[in-house]
Amino acid sequence: MRILRLILIFLLIGLPSTSWADIDPGDLPSTSKWYFHANFEEMRSTEGGLQLYAWLQDEAFEDIREDVGIDFDKEVDQITGYAASEDGLVIVIEGDISQSTKDKILGMGAATGNLDKLGSGDATYFFVKGDRHSDDDYDSDDHSDLDSLENGAYFSFAIPDRIIVTTTETMLKTLLATKGKIPGDKGQSGALVVLSADRNLVQAGMSTDDFQDHLGWNSNIIGNTEQVALLIADEGGKIMIEAQLVTAEKEMAESLASIVRGLISLQIFNDDMDPEIAEFLQNTSVRVDGTKLTIKVLLDPESVIAALD
């Protein structure tokens, strides 16, 4: 289970036969609770992204390589994850995954004594059972939260250049049938907001119910929103960070914008504030469009890395 835990940890840090160059609104099920997409290939090819990528190498990739054998630097181009009420948790890792890495993952699963091989041929997949359930009470279709990987997971290497991980057998079979393409709901109302730019590095979004129910966040700002979306992109060699909050009513969006502007103004005059944080606040713009509150900042990569450190 170490590989599954580390993948989950990596998702929390950040942050098909066709490539996940980025996520569009119709690429996800309308019942999605959260999503995450990181484009390491884009990071490696952009001026601002390179410095963020170097930070990830030091802070995450090295530990993953030492503990599980997956070399994110050489083998992983993109990673996409989401959780939906019916689909459970889905993670798709895309890249030039070596046979050696696949063998290590299978070996780790087999060493636990809880690895089952299922399917056959082009539909071969595996199930590794978690630590929380016995054979009698395990129900693989009853999990959709972030910690569901601890209960066990299905995974497959059957699609070229993909590692697919799910918490439900039904979804794993669906992804194998669609060659790894996540079945989205184009044009459906109620779907999560997806932010995009020319050079996406990280995209993420979540319903605020999950913020409060699963992460224990009781912020008044979060409590008055329905959705939160995040985008990190390279813009002319700088790092653009954009967050969007969706409220139930326009008046609430205006009120939240006033609160955010007030908090920024107060903190800018704080003499004890770190210079990196002060620069972040000084370059932050706040705007409202209907029920959407957008907070955007453009920073030098060095300032972003300093803030992360």
Assess contact for 85 and 31: CB atoms under 8 A: yes
Look up tokens 């606040």; give the residue.
281
**Separation CA 309–CA 307 (nearest Å):** 5
- Per-residue pLDDT tens digits of the chain, which is 309 residues long: 444 444 444 444 433 333 445 777 677 887 888 889 999 999 999 999 999 999 888 888 887 777 776 787 888 999 888 888 778 889 999 999 899 888 888 888 888 778 899 988 888 999 988 765 444 443 444 444 555 667 788 999 999 999 999 999 999 999 998 887 777 666 555 578 888 888 899 999 988 875 555 444 456 666 778 899 999 999 999 999 999 999 988 999 999 899 888 878 777 666 777 776 777 777 889 999 999 999 999 988 888 888 777
92-105 CB burial, b ≥16 within 10 A, e <16: bbbbebeeebeeeb
Q: What angle do CA 289, 294, 298 make, to 5 degrees?
A: 135
Q: Comparing C-alpha atoms, which of 272, 228, 217 is closest to residue 35?
A: 228
- Indicate yes or no: pTM above 0.85: no
150 contacts: CB under 8 Å, gap ≥ 6: 1, 4, 5, 130, 131, 132
Q: Comparing C-alpha atoms, which of 239, 238, 194, 188 is closest to residue 22?
A: 194
- Where in the chain are the domains? 2-177, 200-308
